[in-house]
């Protein structure tokens, strides 16, 4: 049960669906309520598929490129820490690759669920590297089952948050979402630093 709680908390913090709310609202402002629900649903489905593929196929990518788990943890920790700093400094969208040109392109897309919403905004490199390391660390069937459950829970959470995005913006306002994202950013930095420290302590010990 502890694995379920820890993995859900880590994934939720790194994916940060609340930080995606302003992006979702901006991209769907001309859509109807039903269309927004459909976009939110497919975005959550795509995120779930990406997370599952990362969790189950990630180890083969490591084997193919000859990358060790320790190297992945350090690289993943750096990416996760970078994401946290982006949240703290209010540059989350730029960090996720959503610069002006990409935003303009996204506005012209009829299908935005897969890209840019699912990837890279939600399921980015930090999330993928975290899941690959989880797959290498947790070998027991019950451990992996808890992680799979957390993936489903995160995806369901993403759906409800995006579906309610316009209400969340009205209730919290841009400043409220920004403040919450900064708090989450601090947690994300701590997760990234912990991953790097774990490898350093292991190598020095």
Q: Which pLDDT belongs to residue 96?
A: 53
Q: Which pLDDT belongs to residue 92?
A: 58
CA–CA gap between residue 8 and residue 191 (Å, rounded): 13
Q: Which of 84, 65, 59, 50 is nearest to 195 (CA)?
A: 84
Q: Which pLDDT belongs to residue 131?
A: 92
Asked whether 120 and 97 are in contact (CB, 8 A), the reply is: yes
CA–CA gap between residue 198 and residue 205 (Å, rounded): 10
**DSSP code, position 31:** S
The position carrying tokens 């027991």 is 140
pLDDT by residue (tens digit) across 153-168?
999 999 999 999 989 8
Asked whether 144 and 69 are in contact (CB, 8 A), the reply is: no
Q: Which pLDDT belongs to residue 107?
A: 47
Below-70 pLDDT ranges, the chain: 91-110
CA–CA gap between residue 62 and residue 165 (Å, rounded): 37
Q: Is the pTM of this model over 0.85?
A: no
The position carrying tokens 């992680």 is 147
CA–CA gap between residue 99 and residue 121 (Å, rounded): 12
Q: Where are the domains of the chain?
A: 2-204
């Amino acid at each position: 049960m502890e694995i379920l709680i820890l993995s859900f908390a880590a994934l939720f913090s790194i994916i940060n669906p609340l930080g995606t709310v302003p992006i979702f609202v901006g991209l769907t402002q001309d859509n109807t309520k039903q269309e927004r629900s459909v976009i939110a649903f497919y975005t959550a489905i795509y995120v779930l598929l990406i997370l599952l593929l990362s969790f189950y196929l990630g180890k083969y990518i490591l084997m193919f490129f000859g990358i060790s788990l320790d190297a992945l943890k350090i690289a993943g920790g750096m990416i996760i820490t970078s994401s946290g700093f982006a949240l703290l400094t209010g540059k989350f969208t730029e960090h996720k690759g959503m610069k002006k040109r990409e935003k303009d392109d996204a506005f012209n897309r009829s299908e935005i669920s897969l890209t840019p919403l699912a990837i890279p905004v939600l399921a980015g490199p930090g999330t993928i590297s975290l899941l690959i390391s989880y797959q290498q660390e947790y070998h027991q069937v019950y451990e992996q089952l808890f992680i799979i459950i957390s993936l489903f829970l995160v995806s369901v959470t993403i759906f409800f948050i995006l579906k309610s995005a316009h209400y969340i913006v009205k209730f919290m306002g841009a400043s409220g979402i920004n403040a919450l994202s900064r708090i989450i950013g601090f947690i994300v930095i701590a997760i990234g630093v912990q991953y790097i420290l774990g490898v350093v302590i292991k190598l020095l010990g």
